[in-house]
């Protein structure tokens, strides 16, 4: 897959300074393909024997947006009900959310409203939310019309995309859109607070906002326990 699109150069960042770290959570019911979407975006991989995620794990990918080097830290939260109390704590500090359902399973779409409600309750009010209908390659098994999802997204003020983690369709573009929107929110709030829009070596303090933007050097992940469900 081409890793350069719409001006987002994602290669050769090893020697570059990270301007921002954006935390994005991937949520939704179990078995909708959250881990596969994350793997496709972060590593351009698809694991055929992927197992259910236990707890929380994350992967990263570094991109350039409007001249700023941004590390996207994507957290994969387990969708099973028994983990909901655990994963709710991980909404804290999230600047974006990928809310995933399976286009072949209507109940996963019917539960989207509940996930949005949970996001509104636990995440910052400025969080950027992308509704994703995954498994779009299974056209013959479609159970959720695109029109239903578009109507819901418009009603809730969400971005929307249909993706296929299997072949990679629209996965990059969905993540890039969220990251670009996050950058726009951060820049606007920084300007409104009289601050600067670059990350520098320190956290960017946004007056009147719960959003925290931290540099790579300040990133704290000691509370996160990574349990890999797929080694491919």
Q: To the nearest 10°, report the CA torsion of 190, 195, 199, 201.
A: -150
Range of 11-15, 112-116, 186-190, 212-216 with top mean pLDDT:
112-116
The mean pLDDT value for 67-71 works out to 93
CATH homologous superfamily of 18-218:
P-loop containing nucleotide triphosphate hydrolases (3.40.50.300)
Q: What is the pLDDT of residue 193?
A: 77
The owner of tokens 């539960």 is: 111
- Annotated domain spans of the chain: 18-218
Q: How confident is the model at residue 56 (pLDDT cuts 50, 70, 90)?
A: low
Residue 21 has pLDDT above 50, yes or no: yes
CA 47 to chain centre: 19
The mean pLDDT value for 42-64 works out to 75
Closest CA to 131 of 168, 106, 86, 163: 163
Give one DSSP letter per residue of 63-95, joined into a string: EEETTEEEEEEEEEE--SGGGHHHHGGGGTT--
The mean pLDDT value for 222-232 works out to 37
Q: What is the pLDDT of residues 166-204, one digit of tens each?
A: 999 999 999 999 999 999 999 988 888 775 444 433 333
Name the pTM for this structure: 0.75
Q: What is the pLDDT of residue 84?
A: 61
Q: What is the pLDDT of residue 45?
A: 83
Residue 159 has pLDDT above 70, yes or no: yes
Q: What is the pLDDT of residue 195?
A: 53
Residue 83 has pLDDT above 80, yes or no: no
Q: Strand pairing of 20-28 and 68-77?
A: parallel
């Amino acid at each position: 897959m081409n890793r350069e699109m719409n001006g987002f150069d994602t290669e050769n960042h090893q020697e570059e300074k990270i301007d921002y770290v954006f935390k994005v959570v991937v949520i939704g019911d179990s078995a909708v393909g959250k881990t596969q979407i994350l793997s496709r975006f972060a590593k351009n991989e698809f694991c055929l024997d992927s197992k259910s995620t236990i707890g929380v794990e994350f992967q990263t990918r570094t991109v350039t947006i409007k001249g700023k080097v941004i590390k996207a830290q994507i957290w994969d939260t387990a969708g099973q009900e028994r983990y909901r109390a655990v994963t709710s704590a991980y909404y804290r500090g999230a600047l974006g959310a990928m809310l995933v359902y399976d286009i072949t399973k209507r109940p996963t779409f019917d539960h989207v409203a509940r996930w949005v409600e949970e996001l509104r309750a636990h995440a910052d009010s400025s969080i950027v939310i992308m509704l994703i209908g995954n498994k779009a390659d299974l056209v013959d098994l479609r159970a959720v019309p695109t029109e239903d999802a578009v109507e819901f997204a418009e009603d809730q003020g969400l971005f929307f995309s249909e993706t296929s983690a299997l072949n990679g369709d629209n996965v990059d573009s969905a993540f890039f859109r969220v990251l670009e929107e996050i950058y726009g929110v951060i820049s606007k709030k920084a300007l409104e607070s009289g601050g600067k829009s670059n990350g520098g070596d320190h956290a960017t303090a946004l007056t009147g906002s719960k959003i925290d933007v931290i540099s790579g050097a300040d990133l704290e992940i000691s509370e996160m326990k990574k349990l890999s469900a797929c080694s491919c």
